[in-house]
């Protein structure tokens, strides 16, 4: 069975059932951007080295957000690094991920009026099973029931960095759980370590940015 893109899974884990984000949008966007880069890197489309990010294979991975990044990286002549591309992708990844989830029927756009006056649009889950599926690999890895593959380790690392561990409903102390999630990513491949570490740093830098 084809698994949904990493950023779709992360989006679902990082929102509650009513569509409310569990973390600040700037943190969320950086996490989703990291997921897009990891999707491409783990699919052998990108190589991230100290010399910068480069394209290995320009064939589609079947995800509009990830596929649209490849031509951008191909056009870049300065071999920008992971941090640059994470910030670049983060500019619009949140809206694009949400729209693709709506198009796929995973989310429903619902408009209500608050206090009978203010219009508010939420993107609610169509079926809770999609979140359960997104969480299952991470839960199994944390509980030690399954050996995580690189993709699962990447998702664990991003869930840990975004501190949305409560969505896993594992009943463990948060600090311990986040430590375990990060640990899984650190034991994984170099690219997972690098991207997760970069997202972590950029989230901190966004928190102390002068303007946003």
Which parts of this chain interact with another protein (CB under 8 A)? 22-27, 78, 80-84, 87, 161-163, 185-186, 190, 193-194, 196-198, 200-212
The least distance separating another protein from the CB of residue 186, rounded to whole angstroms, comes to 6
Quick one: 31 or 43, whose CB is closer to another protein? 31
The least distance separating another protein from the CB of residue 201, rounded to whole angstroms, comes to 6
Cα atoms in the Cβ-side hemisphere of radius 13 Å centred on 23: 25
Quick one: 108 or 201, whose CB is closer to another protein? 201
| Strand bridging mode 107-114 / 52-55 | unpaired
The least distance separating another protein from the CB of residue 210, rounded to whole angstroms, comes to 5
- Alpha-carbon Rg for the chain, nearest whole angstrom, is 17
CB 116 within 8 A of CB 68: no
The least distance separating another protein from the CB of residue 206, rounded to whole angstroms, comes to 6
CB 37 within 8 A of CB 89: yes
Quick one: 137 or 160, whose CB is closer to another protein? 160
Question: Please, is 201 exposed, middle or buried when counting C-beta atoms within 10 Å of its C-beta (0-12, 13-18, 19+)?
Answer: middle
Quick one: 66 or 158, whose CB is closer to another protein? 158
């Amino acid at each position: 069975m084809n698994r949904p893109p990493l950023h779709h899974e992360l989006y679902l884990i990082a929102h509650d059932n009513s569509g409310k984000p569990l973390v600040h949008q700037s943190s969320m966007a950086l996490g989703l951007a990291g997921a897009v880069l990891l999707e491409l890197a783990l699919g052998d489309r990108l190589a991230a080295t100290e010399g910068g990010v480069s394209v290995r294979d320009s064939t589609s991975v079947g995800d509009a957000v990830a596929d649209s990044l490849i031509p951008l990286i191909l056009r870049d002549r300065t071999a920008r690094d992971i941090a640059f591309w994470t910030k670049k992708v983060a500019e619009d990844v949140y809206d694009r991920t949400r729209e693709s989830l709506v198009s796929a029927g995973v989310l429903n756009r619902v408009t209500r009026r608050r206090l009978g006056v203010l219009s508010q649009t939420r993107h609610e889950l169509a079926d809770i099973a999609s979140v359960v599926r997104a969480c299952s690999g991470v839960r199994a890895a944390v509980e030690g029931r399954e050996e995580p593959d690189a993709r699962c380790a990447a998702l664990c690392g991003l869930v840990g960095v975004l501190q949305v561990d409560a969505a896993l409903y594992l009943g463990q102390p948060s600090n311990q759980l986040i430590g375990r999630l990060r640990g899984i990513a650190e034991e994984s491949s170099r690219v997972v370590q690098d991207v997760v570490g970069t997202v972590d740093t950029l989230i901190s830098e966004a928190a102390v940015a002068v303007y946003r």
